[in-house]
Structure 1
Amino acid sequence: MQTKELPIGVFDSGAGGVSVLAQAKICLPHENFIYYGDSANAPYGTRSENEIRDLTLACGDFLCGKGVKMIVIACNTATSITVQAMREKYNIPIISIEPAVKPAVEKHPQDQIAVLATPATLHQKRYWHLLDKLNAAGQVVNIECDSLAELVEQGNLSDPHIKAYLYERFLPYRGRNFGGIVVGCTHYSFVSAQIRDVAKKICGGSCEIFDGMYGTARHVANVLASEGLLSDSTEEGAVAFFSSGEEHNVGIFKRFLRFFLK
């Protein structure tokens, strides 16, 4: 099989990265994908750096063992800690995701921007370098969400505990009038409408959602094109799902994919 006909590997700590997978599939309908969710070890966002690095490299080993032509790190936490190590280890393109702070501050230069992310993402130098580069540290309000990914991972997006948790996280920022809300974890993409509704009610402002999954999917397409790795197929591509956890997690991944492709 030619290299260009090999699948694209996508992974996350669990179900969240399916949001990135969905956007990549929309951009690249003729490509085949392998999705690996490390559900047995989810969430990554409250783990130590060493744990996250080891788990992320294990995901990379799994996907390389399946013969992928590219790996997409569909996890902000894994990106912030392990992207460089993965690029050094694997001789294929490694695509990463980061919080969509840049488009948020560019569109709302006079407004405050809320960034919702895991503690691990918000404490990393990579994230603070991004804010420094954009001169946005004074404009951005960082909101740590240590439990939101875990709630989404359970698979019930209408769970009232999700909205209750969002109320709890936004209440300290009542009346702040956020121009934009950056969802800095791929799990949060599935509840972005709830995030916006709660933020608008408590904080005010337009609370426009900014999500890195769109830019990441475009970057995947651009890199495949520049590297001559786009599939020549005219058939609809397939998606194979794998999980390190219970078998029912694969069912959640498939249901979450339909959430964006419906």
Structure 2
Amino acid sequence: MSRCKISNRHFSHNRHLCHNQSGELSKGNQQAIGIFDSGVGGLSIFNAVKDFLPQENIIYLADTRYAPYGDQSEAFIIERSQKITDFLLQHSIKLLVVACNTATAAAIQVLRDNYSIPIIGVEPAIKPAVEKTPEGRIGVIATKATLKSEKYQRLKARFAENASITEKATPLFVQLVETVAQLQPQHIAEIKQELQIFIDQKVNTLVLGCTHFPFLNEVIAQIMGAEVTILENAQPVAKEIARKLGDNVNLQNTARQLTFYSSNPAAAQAKFNLILRQKVNLLPF
């Protein structure tokens, strides 16, 4: 016997996405996966999902007008996350990915309490870092909002009670990914300055706690050195999506659709083209 928990406010969007008692989707395998972030950072998740699940239709939404979320209040992030989720549900998504560490920390529980579809978030890879770092010297770079969040503090308390963790909020990295087409020597010098605290602390593992940061991975790795393990979460998220979908992956042998939205297409178009290495049709949200 199936069971479907749906709030009245969202019934018209969600009625075709009931779950059975095991929590699995019961219908909709041709529907799209919805992914959103404050900007282009979540394209690191999008790329991993696109490659790992090559048959899936995907809708990606960048809330460019209000990026970065790390500078916004929790109430504002929750409001935007709900508005975006409503919009994506109108396009009949079967699963939602909150591809933003800040939005995950601030809003994912609210979203899960109010929507019936599976919702997957992202969080700093603290548990894998502890597992890979017996010496316990771990660095975490993230937004200020992520580092201050209760969700992040609970994550540390659960998995890293005995680890030595050095943290730094790095809004510069988000700015570079969102606005700079090609890194110049002064940008690399600024990145090294931001990372200096982790070099001084001789961290063994550096956790990239923002989906924007993997786009700087090559430079970060060069600066930190080959002996430092760098962790991000795009591949684990893609695998979790596949696990959550189960038998509801898209089995149709047709060309999939990749759709892109932005709340400020004019500002985001060039960066989308650069990251995705092709000109994309960026629609207004």
| TM-score, reference length from structure 2 | 0.83
For residues 161-188 of structure 1, give each alpha carbon's deviation from its aligned partner in whole angstroms, at most 9, with x where no partner exists: 5423322212344432221111000000
Of the three residues 202, 205, 210, the one matched with 2:231 is 210
Q: Which residue of 2 aligns with 1:84?
A: 109
State the distance in 2 between where 1:78 and 1:34 align: 18
Larger Cα-atom Rg: 2
Secondary structure at the aligned position of 1:14 is classed as coil
Q: 1:251 to 1:3 in 2, by over 3 A?
A: farther
The match for 1:244 is: 263
Runs (5+) with no aligned partner, structure 2: 1-15, 17-26, 279-285
Output the CA distance in 1 between the equivalents of 2:162 and 2:78.
27
Tell whether 2:47 aligns with 1:26: no
> Which runs of 5 or more residues in structure 1 are unaligned?
none
Higher normalized contact order (CA 8 Å, seq sep 6+, divided by chain length) = 1
Q: Which residue in the other structure is 1:222 paired with?
A: 243
Contact 2:138 2:164 in 1 (8 A): yes
After superposition, the CA RMSD in angstroms is 2.0
Q: How does 1:154-169 map to 2 (within 5 A)?
A: 154-169=179-194
- Is 1:253 equivalent to 2:272 in the alignment? yes
1:134 counterpart residue number: 159
Q: TM-score, normalised by structure 1?
A: 0.90
Q: Is the Cα contact below 8 Å between 2:35 and 2:42 reproduced in 1?
A: yes
Which residues in structure 2 correspond to 1:24-173 (within 5 Å)? 24-136=49-161, 138-173=163-198
Q: Would you identify which runs of 4 or more consecutive aligned residues in structure 1 move more than 3 Å?
A: 159-162, 172-175
Amino acid at match of 1:65: Q
Contact 1:181 1:196 in 2 (8 A): no
Identity of aligned residues (%): 33
Whichever residue aligns with residue 21 of structure 1, its letter is F
Contact 2:136 2:163 in 1 (8 A): no
Q: How many pairs were matched up?
A: 253
Deviations, residues 122-159 of structure 1 (Å, cap 9, x unaligned): 00111011111113464211111122212211152424
Aligned AA (1:186): T
d(CA) in 1 for partners of 2:44 and 2:204?
23
